[in-house]
Amino acid sequence: MQLKVPALPPDETVQLRTVEAGLSRNSDDPSDNSRVRPPGRRRRAARPAALSRLKAAAGPWATRAAPYVRRLRPHYPRPGRTGWRRWAPSWRQWLGGVLTFLGLITAGLGVGYATTDIPENLNSYATQQDNVYFWSDGTPMARTGWVRRQDMPLKDIPEDVRWAVLAAENASFYSDPGISLSGIGRAVWRTFGEGDTQGGSTITQQYVKNVYLNQDRSVGRKFTEAMLALKLDNRMSKDDILEGYLNTSWFGRGTYGMQRAAQAYYGKDVSELDVSEAAVLASLLKGAALYDPALSRANHARAVERWSWILDRMVDIGRLSPAQRAKYKTFPEPLKQARGYDTGKQSDYLVELAAQYAKKAARLTDKQFDLGGYQIYTTFDRKRETALTDAVTRARAKARKADAATARAAHYGAASVATDGRILAVYGGPDHREQGYNESNSTTVPAGSAFQPFVYASALQNGVRRTRDGGPTEVTPDTLYDGDDGVPVMTPEGPYWDRSGKRVAARNDGRKDYGRISLHQALAQSVNTPFMQLGMDTGLDKVRRTAEAAGLLSSSFGPQVPALSLGSATPSAIRMASGYATFAAGGTHVEPYSVARITRNGSTVRLTKPTSRRAVTAKVAEQVQSALRSAFSLAHPATAASAARVAGKTGTTQDDTAAWYVGTASSVSTAVVAYRIDLTKSLEPLPLKGIAGTPAGSVPYDIWSGAQGLG
């Protein structure tokens, strides 16, 4: 059977409703027990009812809109039109298409904005900084790192400098939403029309490109850049964005950021720039290869033109008055080349010491430190460093002239440490690029007789025991000991025998006998035999503890045998200088340190303070210093007459493999050691063969006195 429906007018609609026979009864009727609704189904049953209500509400609106929708539907050929108009869309269809297109674009941008997340990880290369090291007087010493960049807080960048950049790159920065629609349009047009994306970036977009993206030129990257810029503009303050931009932008000459650019082009910090110099640096943001005036005449002409334009632009935007602009008629010529640092020679040894200490004291990992941005203010004194280096250089040259073959294996280590623990100067080697290890910090050769003051101090501090059961006996500088050569070392039970079954005896330099001699005089004359026995009487364990308390490291000590008192320990020059500084400081030891303070991007980095401890009493320290002053006076009477309270002594080893001089002048202790090692064969010390001079003309003393200005 067929159902015939009469034809309807074109503007009318018919709704057909079907009612299922069994559903005419109200399903909410409580009398209907034909089926039971489970409790969990109640929410689902409500959905069709809500949908029905929505349809009922929307029905009248749909009925009214239907005629207009039908008119938008294309009918081709169009009735009532002739010629080509029969096939052209109506204005309503054009409007609908444009609105639909704009709606899709808006929806796409909304989806893109919502799905674009600001990356957690910054572009490590663009944000990496170098570490800068300073002398104790605050002048730059060296820098390390692959990238020449140092962050500067915006507050430390003058306002004129900021506005020179804004005038050149984005004058509407503080009012724009982070992107430039017209600029993006130009960039897209150039991409499709000329295959290049140029211009169109706000400072926010450039900052995004610097720290989050790469330099790829594509529409996709440009779209991501715009979305990130919008989000960043909503999350960060304008000042923070500008600060980041000024610190991450490329300025040529291997530099990133305004601080490094100011130093590279004008040899000054960014805080010292005037507006004219700032305009030159701002011009470099358009391309350092084209605007660095030192590269070519064409570059110079372009730089002058853009410099002038930037200053004029600052007048246009109200950031520079015409009167101020009139002052800058002459182009401020930058330096021909960036000022470099003297790296690779002594400064690298200093940097190595400071970096090790900085990481330890500031509790920084290697990764944190290598990211850079640290300003490390060292304790190194430029004048003392120069004097010490020059003194060693003269000694090297003299040794090569006397015996080139022997001098080839000669090594010199030296260090100056103040009584408050500051490391003032070190000599680490001839050139860090040729010899990597630091001779001032190496533990290669024994201290020899330079160790005697620690034995003396321990005996004065603790007393001596000559019997197993007896109590300690006080020792004074006037206590007498046997100073003859070859005196056997005694224990409470008798002579001391070594493992090979030989009786141990002490030896003096030159096998000289001194008879009964006071401990003060024995130290002043560097007599070995009294101190070897004194160490046994005091207790080698106590001697070692005193030496460690004064500054020597436990790792430099070997077996606890009588030879310990003759300097079998192998301390570095830094540690020997630190140990003697303890006596000059009244018996208080401060751990040697090479960094006074650290900042990062203007903020202070907290450092662990160097430890201080009482090593010996002030009385004992003064007794040791008195003997060392006598030692200096006996060996160098002419110098001692004009240098009050200078103290020091030589140090020699019985196998002639090392020669020392350690002494204190003007509250600064300096230790110098000379030795020979052929690094191509082994690390075993070789005989000096006269390379360190003689007791009357000691090379270590010549270096020491030269470093102190006493030579």
Question: Residues with Cβ < 8 Å from 384, sequence gap 6 or more?
Answer: 416, 424, 425, 668, 707
pLDDT band at 265 (very low <50, low <70, confident <90, very high): very high
pLDDT band at 70 (very low <50, low <70, confident <90, very high): low
**CA dist., res. 169 & res. 196, Å (int):** 19
What is the mean predicted confidence (pLDDT) over 533-558? 96
Question: Number of folded domains in the chain?
Answer: 3
Within a domain: 657: no
> Sign (positive/negative) of CA torsion 622, 624, 625, 630?
positive
pLDDT band at 466 (very low <50, low <70, confident <90, very high): confident
Give the end-to-end CA distance of the chain in Å, rounded to a whole number.
Answer: 131
**CA dist., res. 247 & res. 601, Å (int):** 10
Q: Is pLDDT at 592 greater than 70 in this prediction?
A: yes
Q: Is pLDDT at 113 greater than 70 in this prediction?
A: no
Angle between helical axes of 452-462 and 618-635 (0-180°, round to 10): 150
Q: How many CB atoms lie within 10 A of CB 313?
A: 20
Tokens encoding 552: 């020597």
pLDDT band at 188 (very low <50, low <70, confident <90, very high): low
What is the mean predicted confidence (pLDDT) over 49-67? 70
Q: In the chain, pLDDT over 90 holds for what percent of residues?
A: 52
pLDDT of residue 451: 97
Within a domain: 412: no
Within a domain: 75: no
pLDDT band at 181 (very low <50, low <70, confident <90, very high): low
Q: Return the H-helix or E-strand segment holding 432.
A: none
486-517 pLDDT tens trace: 999 999 888 998 888 889 998 898 899 999 99
Would you give the DSSP letter of residue 186? H
Residues 323 and 453 in one domain: no
pLDDT of residue 28: 46
Q: In the chain, pLDDT over 70 holds for what percent of residues?
A: 79
What is the mean predicted confidence (pLDDT) over 8-16? 43
pLDDT of residue 9: 46
Would you give the DSSP letter of residue 167? H
**CA dist., res. 706 & res. 711, Å (int):** 5
Residues 224 and 295 in one domain: yes
pLDDT of residue 341: 59
**CA dist., res. 51 & res. 391, Å (int):** 97
Domain boundary among 291, 310, 327: 327
**CA dist., res. 269 & res. 260, Å (int):** 8
Residues 228 and 111 in one domain: no
Q: Apex CA 327: angle with CA 324 and CA 328, to 5°?
A: 105
Residues 177 and 314 in one domain: yes
pLDDT band at 644 (very low <50, low <70, confident <90, very high): confident
SS3 at position 622 = helix
Q: Is pLDDT at 225 greater than 80 in this prediction?
A: no
Domain boundary among 270, 293, 327: 327
More confident site: 438 or 253? 438
The separation between CA 257 and the C-alpha centre of its own chain, rounded to angstroms, equals 16
Residues 280 and 165 in one domain: yes
Domain boundary among 509, 542, 568: 568
Residues 179 and 287 in one domain: yes
Residue located via tokens 């070190």: 426
What is the mean predicted confidence (pLDDT) over 418-435? 91
C-beta separation of 353 from 439 below 8 A: no
**CA dist., res. 481 & res. 538, Å (int):** 13
Q: Is pLDDT at 6 greater than 50 in this prediction?
A: no
Q: Which of 80-84, 250-254, 262-266, 532-536 has the highest mean pLDDT?
A: 532-536
Within a domain: 343: no
Within a domain: 216: yes
What is the mean predicted confidence (pLDDT) over 211-225? 57
C-beta separation of 141 from 595 below 8 A: no
**CA dist., res. 574 & res. 443, Å (int):** 10
Q: Return the H-helix or E-strand segment holding 605.
A: strand 603-605
pLDDT band at 672 (very low <50, low <70, confident <90, very high): very high
Q: Is pLDDT at 189 greater than 60 in this prediction?
A: no
> Sign (positive/negative) of CA torsion 700, 704, 709, 711?
negative
The string of DSSP codes covering 214-248 is ----SHHHHHHHHHHHHHHHHHS-HHHHHHHHHHH
C-beta separation of 142 from 164 below 8 A: no
Residues 93 and 239 in one domain: no
Residues 113 and 167 in one domain: no
Angle between helical axes of 159-169 and 203-211 (0-180°, round to 10): 100
pLDDT band at 109 (very low <50, low <70, confident <90, very high): low
Residues 463 and 549 in one domain: yes
pLDDT of residue 4: 47
Angle between helical axes of 540-550 and 573-584 (0-180°, round to 10): 90
Cα→Cα distances 400→129, 293, 393, 397, 660, Å: 42, 47, 11, 5, 20
pLDDT band at 682 (very low <50, low <70, confident <90, very high): confident
Residues 206 and 101 in one domain: no
Q: Is pLDDT at 47 greater than 80 in this prediction?
A: no
Question: Residues with Cβ < 8 Å from 497, sequence gap 6 or more?
Answer: 503, 504
What is the mean predicted confidence (pLDDT) over 173-190? 67
- Tallying the residues shown for the chain, one arrives at 711
More confident site: 244 or 447? 447
Note down the domain range covering 110.
88-117
The string of DSSP codes covering 239-294 is HHHHHHHHHH-EEETTEEHHHHHHHHHHSS-GGG--HHHHHHHHHHTT-HHHH-TT
Q: Return the H-helix or E-strand segment holding 599.
A: strand 595-600
**CA dist., res. 535 & res. 496, Å (int):** 13
Within a domain: 644: no
Output the domain CATH number for residue 210: 1.10.3810.10
**CA dist., res. 633 & res. 619, Å (int):** 21
Residue-averaged pLDDT of the chain:
83
Tokens encoding 538: 């005091």
More confident site: 43 or 348? 348
195-217 pLDDT tens trace: 443 445 888 888 887 776 544 45
C-beta separation of 151 from 245 below 8 A: no
SS3 at position 78 = coil
Q: Which of 46-50, 155-159, 624-628, 705-709 has the highest mean pLDDT?
A: 624-628
pLDDT band at 610 (very low <50, low <70, confident <90, very high): very high
What is the mean predicted confidence (pLDDT) over 315-322? 94
This prediction's pTM: 0.72
pLDDT band at 432 (very low <50, low <70, confident <90, very high): confident
Of 252-256, 291-295, 363-367, where does mean pLDDT reach its minimum? 252-256
What is the mean predicted confidence (pLDDT) over 85-114? 66
Residues 462 and 512 in one domain: yes
SS3 at position 61 = helix
Residue 316: which of 214, 186, 172 has the closest Cα?
172
Output the domain CATH number for residue 561: 3.40.710.10
Cα→Cα distances 460→225, 347, 464, 649, Å: 75, 41, 9, 19
Residues 322 and 212 in one domain: yes
pLDDT of residue 43: 45
Q: How many CB atoms lie within 10 A of CB 382?
A: 14
Q: Is pLDDT at 30 greater than 80 in this prediction?
A: no
pLDDT of residue 673: 97
pLDDT of residue 44: 47
Residue 693: which of 399, 387, 392 has the closest Cα?
399
Would you give the DSSP letter of residue 448? G
